């Protein structure tokens, strides 16, 4: 589905169109830019560029002359490599004159993909800009999502945990053993999945509930880097009751459509786990945990 954005900037009415706003690494995206001059415009060039920004959050602790320490949270930012595409130039537009130009914009082969998290993340925009000498460049920017294809995970281009791409994996913890199977692997936000959990107890137990949570762990991999855990899917598998022996539960659901791919960035990383939690009153909750890989598209 065509995505379309409009804006007015620097005496120019802009319209930017893309065949899609979820972009595949290593592919071309077709688009069209249209501009209407509100006044006379003289520009050296019309450029279209994919702009990527990485951010990460960290803490810095300082100590004053009296030995008192102070901790401050900061955000680091870095522009990802960009390759502007020249659509034309020089550009001469009279007031009321209209210019329309199609284009093809190449995507970087490995992204990195969009990561929508607070302590570490990547955002992407497409910018169309007139390069005007001696003044502010009129422009329009449109937010897009660069995807993480399943093929990159399966090919080993992105590092994942040892059993993250296995259909089924064993798990154990706090006197509980079992296995967790998922279909499909890797998981994709916004798409349904199914699975099966088998839990084996050493003895009878009274539980408040059995629940499953998909947890995405995100961290800034710098000195003092912060961490966070996001839960894009959760479900109660069984209500309170007495249980014993071997238990089996079906999994089914759809992950929230948020860009939380398994990825390693220059200053951060994100990885996922599925937790099956046996909630107990006044006692430590046993967790069965398996590694999970998350892509953001099955198109490749």
> What's the confidence (pLDDT) of residue 58?
96
Q: What CATH code is carried by the domain that includes residue 30?
A: 2.60.40.640
Say if 112 falls within a structural domain: yes
Say whether both 190 and 98 belong to one domain: no
Say whether both 29 and 111 belong to one domain: yes
Say whether both 132 and 205 belong to one domain: no
Q: Is 153 helix (H, G, I), strand (E, B) or coil?
A: helix
* C-alpha dist (Å) from residue 156 to 150, 151, 222: 10, 9, 24
* Tens digit of each residue's pLDDT, the chain (300 residues): 789 999 999 999 999 999 999 999 999 999 999 999 999 999 999 999 999 999 999 999 888 777 788 889 999 999 999 889 999 889 999 999 999 999 999 999 888 999 999 999 999 999 999 999 877 899 999 999 999 999 888 888 888 888 899 999 998 877 789 999 999 999 999 999 999 999 888 777 788 899 999 999 999 999 999 999 999 999 999 888 888 778 899 999 999 999 999 999 999 999 999 999 988 888 788 889 999 999 999 886
Say if 297 falls within a structural domain: no
> What's the confidence (pLDDT) of residue 243?
81
What φ, ψ does residue 169 adopt, rounded to 5°? Answer: -140, 140
Nearest to 128 by CA among 69, 50, 185: 50
Domain end: 121, 147, 173, which one? Answer: 147
Say if 298 falls within a structural domain: no
Say whether both 105 and 167 belong to one domain: no
Domain end: 122, 147, 172, which one? Answer: 147
Q: Is 190 helix (H, G, I), strand (E, B) or coil?
A: coil
Nearest to 210 by CA among 184, 190, 237: 237
Say if 247 falls within a structural domain: yes
Say if 201 falls within a structural domain: yes
Say if 274 falls within a structural domain: yes
Say whether both 211 and 80 belong to one domain: no
- Quick check: 258 and 233 in contact, CB under 8 A? no
Say whether both 87 and 131 belong to one domain: yes
CB atoms under 10 Å from CB of 94, counted, come to: 9
Domain that holds residue 226: 152-292
Say whether both 7 and 142 belong to one domain: yes
Nearest to 130 by CA among 44, 8, 15, 216: 44
State the Cα angle at 235 between 229 and 239, rounded to 5°: 125
Q: State both tokens at 48.
A: 């279209």
Say whether both 103 and 203 belong to one domain: no
Say if 300 falls within a structural domain: no
């Amino acid at each position: 589905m065509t995505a379309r954005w409009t804006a007015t900037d620097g005496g120019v009415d802009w319209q930017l169109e893309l065949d899609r706003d979820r972009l595949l690494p290593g592919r071309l995206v077709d688009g069209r830019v249209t501009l209407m001059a509100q006044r006379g415009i003289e520009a050296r060039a019309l450029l279209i560029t994919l702009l990527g920004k990485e951010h990460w959050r960290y803490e810095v602790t300082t100590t004053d002359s009296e030995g008192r320490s102070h901790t401050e949270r900061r955000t680091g930012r870095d522009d990802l490599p960009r390759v502007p595409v020249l659509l034309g130039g020089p550009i001469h537009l009279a007031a009321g004159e209209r210019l329309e130009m199609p284009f093809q914009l190449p995507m970087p082969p490995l992204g990195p993909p969009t990561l929508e998290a607070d302590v570490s993340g990547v955002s992407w925009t497409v910018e169309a800009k007139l390069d005007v000498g001696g003044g502010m460049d009129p422009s329009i920017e449109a937010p897009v999502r660069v995807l993480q294809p399943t093929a990159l995970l399966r090919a080993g281009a992105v590092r994942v945990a040892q059993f993250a791409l296995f259909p089924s994996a064993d798990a154990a913890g706090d006197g509980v053993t079992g296995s967790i199977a998922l279909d499909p692997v890797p998981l994709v936000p916004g798409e349904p999945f199914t699975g099966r959990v088998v839990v084996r107890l050493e003895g009878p137990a009274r539980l408040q509930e059995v629940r499953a949570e998909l947890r995405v762990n995100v961290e800034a991999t710098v000195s003092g880097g912060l961490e966070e855990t996001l839960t894009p899917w959760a479900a109660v598998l069984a209500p309170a009751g007495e249980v014993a022996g071997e238990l089996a539960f079906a999994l089914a659901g759809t992950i929230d459509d948020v860009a939380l791919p398994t990825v390693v960035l220059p200053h951060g990383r994100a990885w996922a786990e599925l937790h099956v939690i046996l909630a107990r009153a006044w006692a430590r909750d046993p967790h069965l945990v398996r590694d999970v890989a998350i892509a953001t598209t099955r198109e490749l």
